[in-house]
Structure formats: structure tokens, C-alpha cells
Amino acid sequence: MIYLRDVVSLELDLEKCNGCGICLKVCPHAVLAKHEPKVRIANRDACMECGACAINCEPQAIQVESGVGCAAAILNAMIGRTSAPCCGPIDPDDPSCGPSCC
């Protein structure tokens, strides 16, 4: 599932990552993947910014601002900084906006 494209605040510091894989176990959307000997971000746009990965990352290699990506996109669209996000009303004339987007 993809929420909004290119708005997720998820960051991974590979220098801090020890490859323990706990983040892989707690992520509900398989956003992260094992990339020996560490972890990598496999599907950033599937991140729902729940923060489970960051909370459970002992070496603090993962940073995410829980919930801000989708909220920021919607608010920016409301005040005219960006076009309407796909999580708003679906516009059948806009090919970038539809049920498969969110």
C-alpha cells in the first residue's frame, strides 16, 4: 500500500545501523529489507510513519517523524503550496490521483 509519494520523513543512517533486523520485525508494511550486513529502505512510500522502527532501533539508526508526511501533504495542498494530495477527494480527470495511490 502506498499512502502518498515522496512525503515520508523516514531516514536510515547506515553508519549507525548494526544489522540486528529488529526494525524488519516491527514494521507493519515491510518498508525495510535486509541488505547484508545491514538494513536498507526497500519501499519508502509504503511507510505509514508509525515510528515502530525508530522506537525499536537501539543504535538509533532510524529517524521518522510519526505521522507528518501525509498530514503535511494535505495541509500544504489546503493552503495552496502544492496540488491536491491523492488522499483527498478522488479526481477522475487527474491520472495521478486514484484509489491505487493511497
- Domain boundaries, given as residue ranges, for the chain: 11-78
Q: Any residues with CB less than 8 A from the CB of 69 and at least 6 apart, and which? A: 3, 4, 7, 8, 9, 47, 49
pLDDT at 29 > cutoff 80: yes
CATH of the domain spanning 11-78: 3.30.70.20
Residue-wise pLDDT for 45-101, tens only, equals 888 888 999 999 999 999 998 766 566 666 667 777 766 554 444 455 555 444 433
How far apart, in whole angstroms, are the C-alpha atoms of residue 2 and residue 43? 9
